[in-house]
Structure 1
Amino acid sequence: MTTSSSPAVRRRGMLFLAAGAAVLAAGLAWQGPALHAAEAAVQLPAPLQDVPADGPRLQKAVFAGGCFWGVQGVFQHVKGVQRAVSGYSGGSAATASYDAVSSGRTSHAEAVEVTFDPTQVSYGALLQIFFSVAHDPTQLNRQGPDRGTQYRSAIFTQDPAQVKVAQAYIAQLDAARAFGAPIVTRVEPGPAFYPAEVYHQDYLTENPRAPYIVVHDLPKLDNLKKMFPQRWRQEPVLVKRT
């Protein structure tokens, strides 16, 4: 993990290392990237409904799928995305800080605000990537080693059109039995988005060798590149460069 003054960041690192120690204690060799089963991607169909492009005007979408480091990293590598910012959504401005949100008592979820050009990548295409490679939408109030409502799967919609398309896509995937369990992703219309602290922005790119990133997040980039080669952007669009 990166050096940080945040106790919550250090706790996340310690929890991850404790999981690795448990593997070793069980007499198994901990191979780091070999523990990628939880990050397996799912090949999903495109949404049958989509939000039409309204000319060249940029649009925004907000997604929550566990730790925001990996979700941000995925969308930063998608063509047509102009900006992807880690932050918090679902609660108030007064509690929009990492240590407060990590308590699980603020109603916030770790989320990523994606600014995109709909003439290059549609809202529906972003939904397809979100469900396919960015997270596991069948895990209730958790993702991988992270537990709590702050790690819930959620789509924070920005307008009625996004609500309609997101709900329709979840229904489409459930009807097709795309996953081995029901989708638990919540569609939460309209809450404000609050950017996270600077040290969280571009975390995946700046810390590619951190154990948490290696095991839980780099596989997501591999899956994005393999499953959506037409969407893949080699050079990420970074917050600190825009």
Structure 2
Amino acid sequence: MLCLLYLRASESRLDQPILGDHFAAKDVARIDYDFARIHRRVRPDTNQFMVALRGAQFDAWITNYLEAHPDATVLHLGCGLNSRPFRLAASEGVRWFDVDLPQIIALRRKLYSESENYRMIGCSVTDAGWLEDVPTGGPVAIAAEGLLMYLTPPEVAELLHRLTERFDGGELFADLVSKWGPPLSKVSASGVIKWGTRDGGEITGWDARLRLIDDRSVLAGFDEIPLSRQRSLYRRLHSIPAIRNYDRVFRYAF
């Protein structure tokens, strides 16, 4: 969580940022942690753009949905320390709920305040109880950034059923890794990726109400990278199918 925050903060300091999360830079300055250690680990010179490109695509899709549905509910599942509700400055008619584990929300509450239209819920997304705090019906935009691949397929299916049954209609935005995700995860430091996808079809198979309407590689926006060396690197990575399709963002409607 802090690694992602630090990468967003680093990217925001560029002259021409893609995401430009200036809230992240302020939060890094307010959190008492050894960020020099994180700097050595995450190598922001190159990795900040992966986070920025993915975050910018989520921002664009959510913004697009809210422009068409100014009275929508937004659910940001596994929100971490993401500043998205403040960065997007949604209209007054939007109700926004950030959901994450209790210890993460406890830290988040030290950085951000709730309001009439913005709430934080400290609970695992796999616990059905948290939805009791969310109004039923109406349109909804659901963001699951860096989340679903860490749940088991039955957990994802159950979560999707609960969401699609509670609202009249909406869209789901999620990034998913390829079939290589779980085997690579087993040899990584975390080893927590539970499943991968070839084309995002598993989601529509687990919940028939959902239909895939758009998808793209996280690397697809490499031309927006303002630094020439990193832009060239990402262009080369994007040209390799196995790498280009490892992490993709998907947009579903129901």
What TM-score results when the alignment is normalised by the length of structure 1? 0.29
The structure in which a higher percent of residues are helix is 2
What TM-score results when the alignment is normalised by the length of structure 2? 0.28
- Per chain length, whose mean CA-contact separation is higher, i.e. which structure has more relative contact order (CA < 8 Å, sep 6+)? 1
